[in-house]
């Protein structure tokens, strides 16, 4: 705010730890190093955090450059106020496995739903590619 | 990366500001391509010097018994091979390498290493001792002796070269525990893997050099402690590191290579894009990783916890390392000072409280370096020898020959501009005092990657977007919101405290209309049309014609009138149609209703006529109305169909009206001659006219002066005239008692007609629809033979009928 009072700007967020949610559903946590006028973000020491249920796993990713249009939301993380007691951190392999299982289960239910609808003569178009419409 | 960047135009910039000589620059680039081992100072000279040393040593000294050191344990070959990649990549310069270098690098791994390593170590040590008066004063003669206790096999040449130029006395923290692979750089990792985790005990041989390099984790081996302890020289050596002549770059113009700061940006011609950097931001410095790799098995020196003072020549060596540990050093401590790094933290925070305080102190105070060294080591880790006050004192007298051990934290392999930028950045950061935030930020080695200039640039772009001449138009909601906020604040404050929220003031820039003027070269035909986003091509040459209000009104009026006429016509038509259909319906309806139908019929017809006639006079058709209706084509048709249904009197009145207004009608009818439809019904009417009426009609037709000529111009008019005349003739010829001749009117009228006919030029006489046959006979009554013939000719009246 010190640059432009009354406006919202990312300049004051630089060098702080942030959590960003991307349009494809990924969650990245890292130190915001650089921005530009399109809100393209440069993240440092980025970690991709995968949440499955109450578990989460961090995959270190290094340096990320995110194109501004793919950001859903972005928020600063309070470093001091640390982690949750609710969420449980697990290893990367475990979380990936959990994610895979989750995807599988989801697909199964989706498939069942689609067949059920088809039997009744209805069809709902898949919404997974709405963005690329 | 660096090389890649150098291919674009920024290369020139670098050349200007960066390196001094072409050769140096080329070497620089080449060095960079060598990878981590590349250095940016002149290794050639280094080689020469060391080669001399080597020869001297070879002459003087025998081989040192370094068996105890067990090079093999190091993964013998690995030791040198690990460092060989850099030298290997320097193969392009084989010719310039002094022989000893070759000999060193081509040493068979296990066997000669001891010896060669010892030689090199010794030579290096001698160099140090010889070079640095301080050390020399401390323990000169005992140098070689100390060496015997176990100088490590020397690192490869590149490392040697690295050692001298920069006093790598940068403090390095040591992780308390094993390194987490993710925290090391890729190269470090590689080295680790290659080395296969050398046993601790063997690392002592690398002790001096690695310590002097100043990075990497150091682990304690009790065995070596004693060894280390008993050589003050060793400690001094450790302290001092390998002094050497400063890199040529430095000596030239005091340019400093900042470790992490990128070289200055060139102004980019592309609007809206940030200036290009030669070295991408965040380019990790090349050197430290390898060092870290080499030294990760350093041995702790249990005794002294020394802090290396950052040494720096103000004038010669711009502050390379003002107040902080180099980021890579810190990294090499296997940790980042950032609390809770995103990676699984295998190590705790690097710096102890004291060290942090020291660092903060040094930074916040904006210390002119040299006084307080940043804390080097974590409490539990290894440490560097402490270098207290001395450097500043020694600056002056010494910078001539031997550079004092200047703490140049891993900056050797950076691009000179990079280094400078980094130091500048560090300087600026030294002034930061933002309490806890400032403290935390300053400890973050990667902070301020985005320079102030860049931040301002982004802010400027955002400000530009806010400029507007009409804020209420452009940003209505924000304006309202701001007003509400201000009011609320005023209300809350009640004017007690005059605290005003900062308001964003954007420049009120008048939006200029930039019309595109196509580029035109002098003397050329036509104009160039270069279309871009800002001036798109003109697709259509549209011209806006705006009609004035008056014109609009008039046009509207005209249209309204016409619409009205049409409306009237339509209504009359509907009545007419009903009248026309009467016959049919009459036949169809049963007897009882016929009466009613008849009545209806009559009403309709009356209505029809009523719409035509004058207000007061029953037997006269309203000229105005007639004109109006007849002005429309449909109206004419209507009349023509209407006349047969009208009672004779009314029909006659209509015809009279037509005749009366014929000139006007004729004028309007010029285009499509719709009047001709009227001929038939009118003829019928005429034939039923009385003589008086006929005369009247003729008179009407002639009307005012000049009317007849106009009439004659119109086909219908001529036809009508003929009809009248022929009717009159018929009357006369058929009925001897015709009253036509009773008054002179008819005769006079005919006379005038004939006169007119004769006078009218043939061109303006339009041919009639048909020529009644008895015209000739009519004319023959009134005109003499001569004129008759003329008339005949003119009117092309055939005398066949006769």
Cα dihedral sign, B461-B466-B468-B474: positive
Does residue B425 have a pLDDT over 70? no
Residue B501 touches partner A, C-beta closer than 8 Å: yes
Residue with tokens 């498939």: A111
Long-range contacts of residues B184-187, Cβ cutoff 8 Å, at least 24 apart: B184/B289, B184/B292, B184/B293, B184/B334, B185/B284, B185/B289, B185/B292, B185/B331, B186/B289, B187/B35, B187/B36, B187/B289, B187/B290, B187/B293
In the three-class reduction of DSSP (H, G, I as helix; E, B as strand; rest coil), residue A52 is classed as strand
Segments in B370-475 forming alpha helices (H) = 390-398, 416-430, 435-443, 452-466, 471-474
Return the exposure string of B289-318: e unless at least 16 CB atoms fall within 10 Å of the residue's CB, then b.
bbbbbbbbbbbbbeeebbbbbbbbbeebbb
A27 touches B at CB < 8 Å: no
Write out chain A residues lying below 8 Å of B444, CB-based: 15, 31
**Nearest residue, CB atoms, B462 vs list A1, A9, A60:** A9
Residue A41, min C-alpha distance to chain B (Å)? 11
**Mean of per-residue pLDDT scores for chain A:** 88
Token code pair at residue A81: 């106020």
Q: What is the DSSP letter of B16?
A: I
Q: Do B343 and A34 touch (CB under 8 A)?
A: no
User: Within an 8 Å CB–CB cutoff, is residue A57 touching chain B?
Assistant: no
Q: Tokens 């409280």 — which residue?
A: B353
Structural contact between residues B234 and B399, judged by C-beta atoms closer than 8 angstroms: no
Angle value at C-alpha B526, between B522 and B532, nearest 5 degrees? 95
pLDDT band at B299 (very low <50, low <70, confident <90, very high): very low
pLDDT, tens only, A95-117: 999 999 999 999 999 999 999 99
pLDDT by residue (tens digit) across B618-668?
666 667 777 777 777 777 788 888 887 777 777 787 788 777 777 777 777
Q: Could you give the 3-state DSSP secondary structure of residue B701? A: helix
Residue A58 near chain B (CB below 8 Å): yes
pLDDT given at position B554 = 87
Residue A51: CA atoms inside 13 Å, Cβ hemisphere, count? 11
The one-character DSSP state at B781 is H
- Indicate yes or no: CB of A79 within 8 angstroms of CB of B282: no
pLDDT band at A49 (very low <50, low <70, confident <90, very high): very high
Which residue, among B330, B85, B40, has the nearest Cα to B190 in the 3D structure? B85
What residue ranges define each of the domains in chain A, with the CATH number in brackets?
7-89 (2.30.30.100)
Using alpha carbons, select from B217, B179, B231, B223 the residue that is nearest to residue B201.
B223
Q: Is A40 near chain B, with CB under 8 Å?
A: no
Q: How confident is the model at residue B736 (pLDDT cuts 50, 70, 90)?
A: low
Question: Which residues on chain A are in Cβ contact (under 8 Å) with B455?
Answer: 3, 11, 14
pTM of the full predicted structure? Answer: 0.32
pLDDT band of residue B746 (cuts 50, 70, 90) is: confident
Name the 3-class secondary structure at A25.
Answer: coil
Cβ contact (<8 Å) for B282 and A5? Answer: no
Interfacial A residues in 89-128 facing B (CB < 8 Å):
none
Mean pLDDT of all residues in B603-617 = 70
| Beta-carbon separation of B446 and A31 below 8 A | yes
pLDDT tens track for B510-549: 555 556 565 666 666 766 666 677 666 666 677 777 777 7
Nearest to A7 among B440, B455, B504 (CB): B504
Interface membership of A7 toward B (CB under 8 Å)? yes
DSSP letter string, B668-690: HTTTT-GGGGGHHHHHHHHHT--
Which positions in chain A touch B284 (Cβ < 8 Å)?
Answer: none
Residue B12 has pLDDT above 50, yes or no: no
* Residue B734 CA, distance from chain mean position: 98
> Which pLDDT does position B350 carry in this prediction?
45
Cα–Cα–Cα angle for B59, B242, B413, nearest 5°? 115
pLDDT at B247 over 70: no
Q: B440: distance to nearest CA of chain A, Å?
A: 10
* pLDDT, average across residues B370-384: 40
Residue B191: CB atoms within 10 A of its CB come to 23
Q: Name residue, tokens 């040590």.
A: B125
Cα separation, B21 vs A118, in Å, equals: 76
| ipTM, two decimals | 0.83
Report the pLDDT averaged over residues B424-445: 57
Check residues A32 and B594 and name the one with the higher pLDDT: A32
Q: Are B354 and B375 in contact (CB under 8 A)?
A: yes
Q: What is the pLDDT of residues B104-122, one digit of tens each?
A: 444 444 444 444 555 666 6
CB of B436 less than 8 A from some CB of A: no
**Residue B217: how many other CB atoms lie within 10 Å:** 25
What is the mean predicted confidence (pLDDT) over B453-462?
87
For residues B154 and B208, is the Cβ–Cβ distance under 8 A?
no
Cβ within 8 Å, pair B343-A45: yes
A36 touching B (Cβ < 8 Å): yes
B118, B147 contact by CB (below 8 A): yes
CB B788 within 8 A of CB B744: no
How many angstroms away from the CA of B441 is the closest CA of chain A? Answer: 7
B721 is written with which tokens?
A: 């005239």
Q: Does B481 contact chain A (CB < 8 Å)? A: no
Q: Do A14 and B450 touch (CB under 8 A)?
A: yes
Of the residues B274, B342, B444, B478, the best mutation for testing chain A's interface (the one with the most A CB atoms within 10 Å of its CB) is B342
Q: CA-to-CA distance for B161 and B165, rounded, in angstroms?
A: 7
SS3 B136: helix
Percentage of chain B surpassing pLDDT 90? 0
Between helices B591-612 and B623-631, what is the axis angle to 10°? 100
Nearest to B15 by CA among B196, B201, B266: B266
pLDDT of residue B522: 66
Which residues does chain A have within 8 Å of residue B336's beta carbon, measured at their own beta carbons? Answer: 45
Distance in angstroms (rounded) separating the CA atoms of residues B727 and B35: 123
Closest chain A residue to the Cα of B272, Cα to Cα? A37
- What pLDDT, on a 0 to 100 scale, did the predictor assign at position B528? 64
Q: Is it the case that residue B446 has pLDDT exceeding 60?
A: yes
């Amino acid at each position: 705010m010190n640059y432009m009072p009354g406006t919202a700007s990312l300049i004051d967020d630089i060098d702080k730890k942030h959590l960003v949610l991307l349009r494809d559903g990924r969650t990245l946590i890292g130190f915001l190093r650089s921005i530009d006028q399109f809100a393209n973000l440069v993240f440092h020491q980025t970690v991709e955090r995968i949440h499955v249920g109450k578990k989460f796993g961090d995959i270190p990713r290094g340096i990320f450059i995110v194109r501004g249009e793919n950001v859903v939301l972005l928020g600063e993380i309070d470093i001091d106020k640390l982690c949750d007691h609710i969420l449980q951190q697990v290893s990367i392999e475990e979380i990936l496995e959990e994610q895979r299982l989750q995807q599988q289960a989801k697909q199964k239910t989706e498939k069942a739903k689609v067949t059920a609808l088809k039997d009744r003569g209805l069809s709902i178009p898949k919404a997974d590619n709405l963005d690329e419409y | 990366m660096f090389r890649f960047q150098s291919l674009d135009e920024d290369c020139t910039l670098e050349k200007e500001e960066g390196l001094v000589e072409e050769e140096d620059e080329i070497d620089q680039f080449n060095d960079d391509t060598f990878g981590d081992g590349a250095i940016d100072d002149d290794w050639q000279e280094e080689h020469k010097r060391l080669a001399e040393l080597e020869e001297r040593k070879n002459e003087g000294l025998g081989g040192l018994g370094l068996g105890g050191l067990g090079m093999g344990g190091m993964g013998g070959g690995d030791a040198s091979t690990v460092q060989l990649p850099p030298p290997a990549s320097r193969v392009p310069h084989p010719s310039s390498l002094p022989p000893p270098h070759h000999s060193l690098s081509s040493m068979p791994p296990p066997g000669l290493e001891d010896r060669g390593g010892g030689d090199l170590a010794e030579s290096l040590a001698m160099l140090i001792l010889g070079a640095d008066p301080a050390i020399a004063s401390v323990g000169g003669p005992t140098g070689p002796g100390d060496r015997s206790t176990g100088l490590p096999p020397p690192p490869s040449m590149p490392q040697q070269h690295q050692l001298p130029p920069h006093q790598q006395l940068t403090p390095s923290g040591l992780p308390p525990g094993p390194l987490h692979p993710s925290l090391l750089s890729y190269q470090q990792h590689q080295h680790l893997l290659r080395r296969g985790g050398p046993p601790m005990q063997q690392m002592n041989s690398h002790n001096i050099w690695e310590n002097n390099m100043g990075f990497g984790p150091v682990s304690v081996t009790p065995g070596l402690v004693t060894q280390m302890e008993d050589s003050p020289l060793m400690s001094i050596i450790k302290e001092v590191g390998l002094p050497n002549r400063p890199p040529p770059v430095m000596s030239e113009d005091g340019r400093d290579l900042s470790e992490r700061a990128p070289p200055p940006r060139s102004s980019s011609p592309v609007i809206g894009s940030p200036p290009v950097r030669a070295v991408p931001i965040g380019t990790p410095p090349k050197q430290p990783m390898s060092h870290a790799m080499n030294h990760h098995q350093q041995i702790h020196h249990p005794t002294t916890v020394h802090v290396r003072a950052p040494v720096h020549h103000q004038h010669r060596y711009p502050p390379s390392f003002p107040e902080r540990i180099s980021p890579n050093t810190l990294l090499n401590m296997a940790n980042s000072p950032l609390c809770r790094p995103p990676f699984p933290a295998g190590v705790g925070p690097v710096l102890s409280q004291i060290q942090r305080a020291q660092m903060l102190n040094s930074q916040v105070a904006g210390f002119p370096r040299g006084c307080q060294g940043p804390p080097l080591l974590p409490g539990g880790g290894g440490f560097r020898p402490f270098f207290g006050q001395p450097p500043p004192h020694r600056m002056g007298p010494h910078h001539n020959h031997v550079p004092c051990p200047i703490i140049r934290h891993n900056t050797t392999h950076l691009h000179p501009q990079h280094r400078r930028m980094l130091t500048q950045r560090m300087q600026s950061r030294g002034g930061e005092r933002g309490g806890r935030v400032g403290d935390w930020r300053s400890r973050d080695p990667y902070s301020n990657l985005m320079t102030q200039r860049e931040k301002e640039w982004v802010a400027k772009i955002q400000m530009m977007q806010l400029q507007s001449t009409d804020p209420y138009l452009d940003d209505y909601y924000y304006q309202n919101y701001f007003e509400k906020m201000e009011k609320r604040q005023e209300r809350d404050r009640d004017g007690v405290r005059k605290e005003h929220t900062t308001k964003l003031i954007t420049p009120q820039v008048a939006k200029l209309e930039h019309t595109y003027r196509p580029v035109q070269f002098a003397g050329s035909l036509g104009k160039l049309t270069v279309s871009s986003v800002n001036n798109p091509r003109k697709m259509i040459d549209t011209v806006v014609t705006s009609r004035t209000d008056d014109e609009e009104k008039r046009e509207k009026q005209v249209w309204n009138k016409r619409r009205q006429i049409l409306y009237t016509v339509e209504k009359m038509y509907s009545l007419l149609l009903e009248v026309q259909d009467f016959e049919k319906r009459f036949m169809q309806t049963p007897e009882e209703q016929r009466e009613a139908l008849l009545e209806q019929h009559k009403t309709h017809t009356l209505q029809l006529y009523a719409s035509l006639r004058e207000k007061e006079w029953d037997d006269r058709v309203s000229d105005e109305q007639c004109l109006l209706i007849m002005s429309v084509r449909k109206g004419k048709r209507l009349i023509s169909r209407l006349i047969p249904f009208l009672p004779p009197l009314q029909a006659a009145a209509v015809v009279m009206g037509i005749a009366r207004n014929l000139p006007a009608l004729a004028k309007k009818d010029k285009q499509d001659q719709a009047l001709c439809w009227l001929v038939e019904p009118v003829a019928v009417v005429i034939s039923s006219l009385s003589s008086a009426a006929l005369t009247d009609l003729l008179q009407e037709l002639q009307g005012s002066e000049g009317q007849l000529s106009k009439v004659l111009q119109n086909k219908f008019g001529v036809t009508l005239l003929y009809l009248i005349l022929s009717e009159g003739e018929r009357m006369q010829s058929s009925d001897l008692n015709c009253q036509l001749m009773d008054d002179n009117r008819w005769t006079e009228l005919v006379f005038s007609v004939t006169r007119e006919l004769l006078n009218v030029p043939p061109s303006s006489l339009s041919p009639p629809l048909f020529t009644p046959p008895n015209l000739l006979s009519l004319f023959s009554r009134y005109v003499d033979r001569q004129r008759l013939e003329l008339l005949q000719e003119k009117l092309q009246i055939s005398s066949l009928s006769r």
